[in-house]
């Protein structure tokens, strides 16, 4: 079972910060597949599967992630908001490649990069005619 401390350390290492109550809920979800993981994988592989699953669930919370930070005295932090699709697909590939028995499959959030939507465009025409 992954602990909230381990999950927080992993997620922060990949630039994902979540409120503690959300993190706890995600850890509970990741730990819900422990029986399947124990039946098919050694403990180290099970822990990696849970980390990658938490990464996916954390990414699904939003696209903002920390790209750099510094510390003592002049604290600064930079964020990125681009290439969410690439990050998502890479994380899913890591998880699926490792979880060959599909223990985490039911918990993987829907792919937000394939969201189809409908919209309506309304325009009003006019003439800019000179006299």
pLDDT tens digits for 24-66? 999 999 999 999 999 999 999 999 999 999 998 887 765 555 6
* Position with higher pLDDT, 64 vs 83: 83
**DSSP label at 105?**
G
Q: Is 111 helix (H, G, I), strand (E, B) or coil?
A: coil
Supply the pLDDT for residue 123: 53
Q: Give every CB contact of residue 91 below 8 A, 6+ residues apart in sequence.
A: 52, 55, 56, 59
CB atoms inside a 10 Å sphere around CB 99: 24
Which residues face 66 on adjacent strands?
79
Kindly give the residue spans of alpha helices, DSSP state H, lying in the chain: 4-13, 20-31, 34-40, 43-59, 84-98
What pLDDT does 85 receive? 81
Average pLDDT over all residues of the chain: 81
What is the spatial distance between Cα 26 and Cα 54, in angstroms, rounded to a whole number? 7
Q: In this structure, what token pair is assigned to residue 78? A: 């930079």
Percent pLDDT > 90 in the chain is 41
């Amino acid at each position: 079972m992954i602990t909230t401390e381990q999950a927080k350390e992993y997620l922060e290492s990949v630039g994902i910060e979540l409120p503690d109550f959300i993190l706890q809920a995600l850890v509970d979800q990741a730990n819900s597949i422990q029986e399947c993981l124990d039946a098919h994988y050694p403990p180290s592989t099970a822990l990696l599967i849970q980390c990658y699953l938490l990464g996916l669930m954390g990414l699904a919370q939003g696209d903002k992630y920390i790209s750099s930070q510094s510390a003592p005295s002049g604290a600064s932090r930079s964020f990125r908001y681009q290439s969410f699709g690439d990050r998502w697909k890479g994380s899913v590939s890591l998880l699926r490649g490792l979880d060959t028995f599909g223990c985490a499959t039911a918990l993987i959030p829907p792919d937000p990069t394939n969201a189809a939507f409908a919209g309506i465009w309304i325009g009003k025409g006019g003439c800019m005619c000179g006299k």
